[in-house]
Structure 1
Amino acid sequence: MADRSILITGASSGIGAATARAMAAPGARLALHARNNREGAERVAASVRELGAEAVVLMADLVEPEAAGRLVAEAADKLGGLDVLVSNAGFADRTPVAQLTDEAFARSQDTILWALLRLARAAGPILAQGNAPRLVAVSSFVAHNFRTDSTVFPASAAAKGGLEALVKALALEWAPVVTVNAVAPGYTQKDAGAHAALDAKGWEAVLTRIPMRRLGLPAEVAEAIAFLGSVKAGYITGQVLHVDGGVVV
């Protein structure tokens, strides 16, 4: 990641924070986005700087239609360009369809799918001028997991499924200049004190459905994202890499 300019959305905690640390290296320049958790993002920025990278924190609510464009422009200005975009911001919603309001459904789409579209439209021309440019979107196993013995996340699944389709479309449009891929994490450990979609009993039940019998670590997902964002992944595009302990096989 040396001498690469990187924008990571949703970087104040969890997988986004772990990705920032995985991509940090002497000479790397990172823009770390958060919606409202500036304190968490600043802590991540401090850890990134300890690893020898430069880091700036940028705030934006990607639900707002114009926010993605402003975020990309500000990141490119502060970093001197853009080589890697990691679209990670999002949340899980397991509300059943019968109880899902239009507003709640729309928020999942805005935060996940529309955010990727808007980020990509803004970043495309800048990435095309970058060094081994990459776009990596963070999807989820919920877009593939529809079982009667498992929790289903209707709004999240719809948004992540659309995200994966958009990744494939972008991969074709942007080839051969920019590679576009997705990483689909499985059940992953949360940061201490972070909101979780399941209670303790629910997490115990989950472990029986994971072939590897444990939750994934944010750092394990981050390593996959970092690889797809690296110069070494130059012949991989339009793919969804599952990092889920075998939940989706």
Structure 2
Amino acid sequence: MTGEHMTEQSRTIVVTGAASGIGARISLRLARPGDQLFIHTRANSDGLERIAETLRDQGCTVETGLWDLAETGAGRRLVEAVQAAFGGIDVMVQNAGYANRSPLGEATDAEFEAAHGAIARAFFEMSGASMDALKASPMGRVIAIGAFGPHVWRTNAPVFPATAAAKASLEATAKALALQLAPDGVTVNVVAPGFIEKEPGTHMALTPESIAQSHAVIPMGRHGTMEEVAAVVEFLASKDAGYVTGQVIHVNGGLV
């Protein structure tokens, strides 16, 4: 079923958390001339506009949005804004979120709720609100950015209880959505990065000491790059990934 918003040359793409880091790399990697992109950030409007201008220079039509996805209903409002701007959705990437280092016993209710709001509830809301648009797309794709936190529990690796719980919930939602949308040819997958290099000046989930120690627990002996994560997302958003759905794909250098 072909919607007016997508032709052989163009797609409507949504990326949350796109002002910097992995989200910015994903936006730039997915974009092709003629595509329509809706990119989001919570507060980094300057960074988002820089990415938007780069995308426009690449021949894309770009709309931007600022939302705190931790707020109830923000995920639905974002999807509504995308549909109002472009009339549909072909590729949706939920990347927004952050790592909370507070251990159990110290993490507050507010920290727990913020992590779940921005990560799990936002994806839950976006999933429900976008289902009809994804079904109408000739090649609907959903990619959620997970984390190693729900899968790696070691005494010599960092633990992020609130964030890990939120990412586990995100994975469950993605699997449910994959099951529901499979008959319509829509694929839904999770990309779970391991330790990934960050841009200077951005939020760091690890202390400098932890970063140095982390290389010892990675079989490949190094941190991954944001481009390596974006490359996997690019594949999952492509026609070639049409038979891959309901999966959690780890990009972590062999971390177990």
Bin the TM-score by the shorter chain.
over 0.9
Counterpart among 36, 52, 63 of residue 56 in structure 1: 63
Measured after TM superposition, the shift of residue 127 of structure 1 is: 1.2
**Conserved 8 A contact 2:70-2:115:** no
Partner of residue 200, structure 1 = 208
Report the identity percentage: 44
Q: Distance in 1 between matches of 2:217 and 2:56?
A: 39
Alignment of 1:60-79 (within 5 A): 60-79=67-86
Q: CA contact under 8 A between 2:71 and 2:118: conserved in structure 1?
A: no
Partner Cα separation in structure 2 for residue 214 and residue 16 of structure 1? 21
Measure, in 1, the Cα distance between the counterparts of 2:9 and 2:39. Answer: 17
Q: How many residues align?
A: 248
Contact 1:4 1:131 in 2 (8 A): no
Secondary structure, aligned partner of 2:234: helix
Aligned residue in 2 for 1:86: 93
Secondary structure of the residue aligned to 2:152 is: coil
Partner in structure 2 of residue 233 of structure 1: 241
Task: Extract unaligned runs of 5+ from structure 2.
Answer: 1-7
Question: Match of 2:214, as an amino acid?
Answer: V
* Distance in 2 (alpha carbons) for counterparts of 1:94 and 1:127: 35
Q: Match for 1:83: what amino acid?
A: D
Deviations 1:144-168 (A, max 9, x none): 0101111111111111111111111
Q: Which runs of 4+ in 1 moved over 6 A?
A: none
SS in 1 for 2:244: coil
Do structure 1's residue 142 and structure 2's residue 149 form an aligned pair?
Answer: yes
- In structure 2, C-alpha distance between the alignment counterparts of 1:2 and 1:42, rounded to whole Å: 24
Out of 179, 189, 196, the residue aligned to residue 172 of structure 1 is 179
Give me the whole-angstrom Cα distance separating, in 1, the residues matched to 2:254 and 2:175.
23
TM-score, normalised relative to structure 1: 0.96
Question: Gaps (5+ residues) in structure 1?
Answer: none
* Partner Cα separation in structure 2 for residue 108 and residue 229 of structure 1: 26
Listed one character per residue, the Cα deviations across residues 49-107 of structure 1 (whole Å, up to 9, x for unaligned) are 22222222111111121221111111122123110110110000121101111111111
Q: State the shift of 1:183 in Å.
A: 0.2
Please say if residues 10 and 34 of structure 2, whose CA atoms lie closer than 8 Å, have aligned partners that are also in contact: yes
Q: CA deviation at 1:2?
A: 3.7
**Which residue does 2:250 correspond to in 1?**
242
Give yes or no for contact 1:8–1:85 (8 Å, CA) kept in 2. Answer: yes
Deviation, structure 1 residue 33: 0.6
Which of 106, 120, 125 is residue 99 of structure 1 equivalent to? 106
* Structure 1 Cα separation of the partners of residues 101 and 219 of structure 2: 22
Give the CA deviation at 1:232.
1.9
Residue number among 160, 173, 182 corresponding to 2:167 in the alignment: 160
Question: Structure 1, residues 92-130: CA drift from partner, whole Å, max 9, x if none?
Answer: 012110111111111111110001000001111111111
